[in-house]
Structure 1
Amino acid sequence: MRIKEILDERKMTQKELAAASGLTEATISMLVKNKRDTVNRQHIAQVAKALDITDFNMLFKFN
């Protein structure tokens, strides 16, 4: 996931993203660190909405 890169580009903290998305700081941290084997689609939707991203592909790195 590219959340860390996007946060850096926007000069936004994980704490600010947590507040804007309604997710916990722990959840945001795990998403940023790619510590999840599976990702809750609702969490991705909340992050995308908080970051004003309409194309979910922007949140992911594809090799």
Structure 2
Amino acid sequence: MEKRIVIKIKDLLMKNNISLRELSRLTDIRHATLSELSNHKRENINFQHIVKIADALDIEDIREIIDLVDE
């Protein structure tokens, strides 16, 4: 069975009650990039983006941002 990495942007937005635009402002990551990650249209993520998201949302466990799921 194949596995894939999922970036949980939508979950983070709901949990923190913020918009994609607000996350973009907080992290200094382009809105378009976050949108692609949110809609699973981007296969890769820059590790620095994970760090910026974690810092902006006060996240200590990377599993809140990314997940490994079965296809």
- Equivalent-residue separation in structure 2 for 1:34 and 1:55 (angstroms): 21
Matched to 1:29, the amino acid is: S
TM-score by length of 2: 0.78
TM-score by length of 1: 0.86
Note the C-alpha offset of 1:62. 2.7
Residue aligned with 1:48, SS: helix
Q: Which has the higher strand share?
A: 2
Structure 1 segments of 4+ aligned residues over 6 angstroms from their partners: none
Counterparts of residues 1-63 of structure 1 (less than 5 Å): 1-63=7-69
Unpaired stretches in structure 2, ≥5 consecutive residues: 1-6
**What fraction of aligned residue pairs are identical, expressed as a percent?**
33
| Structure with the greater alpha carbon radius of gyration | 2
How many residue pairs get aligned? The number is 63
Q: Which has the higher helix share?
A: 1
Q: Choose between structure 1 and 2 for higher RCO, CA contacts under 8 A separated by at least 6 residues.
A: 2
- Equivalent-residue separation in structure 1 for 2:51 and 2:40 (angstroms): 16
Residue aligned with 1:4, SS: helix
